Amino acid sequence: MRTEFTRQRRNLMSNYGQNALIQLIAASAVGFILAYAMYIIILVIAPNQQIEVNGMLEKVTFSNAISPYVALQPFKEFLHRPWTVLTYAWVHSGFWALLTGMMWLYCFGSVIQSLVGFKEIIPMFLFSSIIGGLVFISVSAIWPNMGGNQMILGALPATMGFALGAITLAPKFRFYLGDRLAIPLWVVLAIFLGLNLLTLSNGNITTLVVCLSSALVGFGYIKLLQNGYKPGAWLYGSGNKIQHWFAPAEFNAKNPKRRTEAFKKMQQTKTASPEESIDMLLDKINQKGYDSLTKEEKDMLMNASKER
């Protein structure tokens, strides 16, 4: 029997703080908007809409006005713009690239987020994109004349990491599109790889190196999680420390009595309804995974599924 839960009182953005995928998509959209805003400004202020490139005047385009300053590039160019290893994954060359990239990112990322929690998503994205970029830079230092596009933009490498990570974590996972229609994860992965290999097979070795490296990072990240390690714990640990600096005194860990009293008052003033209790359990699964539930919580979830 397949269990389904429907949240009637929440929309996509109501749980934004615990949906790392939506946070990544929003950050990528902001990066896209900022990059094209700068491009429009250059178009306006550039005399005759031309820009000097390698001592020659060329027509202003996104690839010569913006990409050199945010895109991942080989070793020689990286030495002059080392920040590009951090920026290339957040900027896309066009709206269609952004849209399709975020759809695939959400597709594979939702599998990982639902099974191991939202706190592993952003660290996995950062590790996949940064380590994949560093491997490419190292290879380009050894092999400076490798073929393919010399500037890489977008979240495709990190998405490759999510794709291989998802199939490693749950090879039998299925996407349910209805009561009778279910698509295995490996079929979705095959479609994704097939569409992208058509592009990567055209001598684009640079992108292939980054994507392959990022995919291996995603595989390694999931293997570490399965062995009990938390490679991304430092990221949220640092965020919690910063948050505690600005938290009210009653919620500070150094004041357990005030914190206990505050939570008691909250419990006295608000009693959760059955639907709210189920929502809280679903939030816990989203954050920490199904295995984090106690036996009583699992029984409550199963009873609720039988009633619906």
Q: Pick from 25-39, 42-56, 273-287 the range whose average pLDDT is largest.
A: 25-39
CA distances in angstroms from 146 to 63, 131, 140, 157, listed in the order given? 20, 19, 7, 18
Closest CA to 213 of 121, 122, 101, 127: 127
Name the helix (H) or strand (E) containing 282: helix 274-288
pLDDT (mean) for 88-104 = 93
CATH number for the domain whose boundaries are 16-233? 1.20.1540.10
Contact 58, 127 (CB under 8 A): no
Strands 50-53 and 56-59: antiparallel
**What is the residue type of 131?**
I
pLDDT the model gives residue 16: 64
Question: How far is residue 152's CA from residue 87's CA, in Å, rounded to a whole number?
Answer: 10
pLDDT the model gives residue 192: 94
> What percent of the chain stands above pLDDT 90?
43
Question: How far is residue 298's CA from residue 165's CA, in Å, rounded to a whole number?
Answer: 26
pLDDT digits (tens, 9 = 90+) for 196-233: 877 665 667 788 889 999 999 999 999 999 998 888 88
Contact 36, 124 (CB under 8 A): no
What is the Cβ-side half-sphere exposure of residue 248, based on CA atoms within 13 angstroms?
5
Q: Pick from 10-14, 101-105, 149-153, 193-197 the range whose average pLDDT is largest.
A: 101-105
Question: How far is residue 190's CA from residue 177's CA, in Å, rounded to a whole number?
Answer: 18
Question: How far is residue 30's CA from residue 26's CA, in Å, rounded to a whole number?
Answer: 6
Closest CA to 216 of 134, 307, 110: 134
The ranges assigned to domains in the chain are: 16-233, 248-307
Closest CA to 128 of 227, 215, 21, 8: 215
Closest CA to 115 of 206, 226, 237, 258: 226
pLDDT the model gives residue 295: 73
Q: What is the mean pLDDT of the chain?
A: 80
pLDDT digits (tens, 9 = 90+) for 268-298: 444 556 666 677 767 767 666 666 677 777 7
Task: Count CB-CB contacts under 10 A for residue 11.
Answer: 8
pLDDT (mean) for 251-271 = 52
Three-state DSSP class for 204? coil
User: Residue 262 — pLDDT band, cuts 50, 70, 90?
Assistant: low
Burial 205-219 (b: 16+ CB within 10 A, else e): bbbbbbbbbbbbbbb
pLDDT (mean) for 89-114 = 94
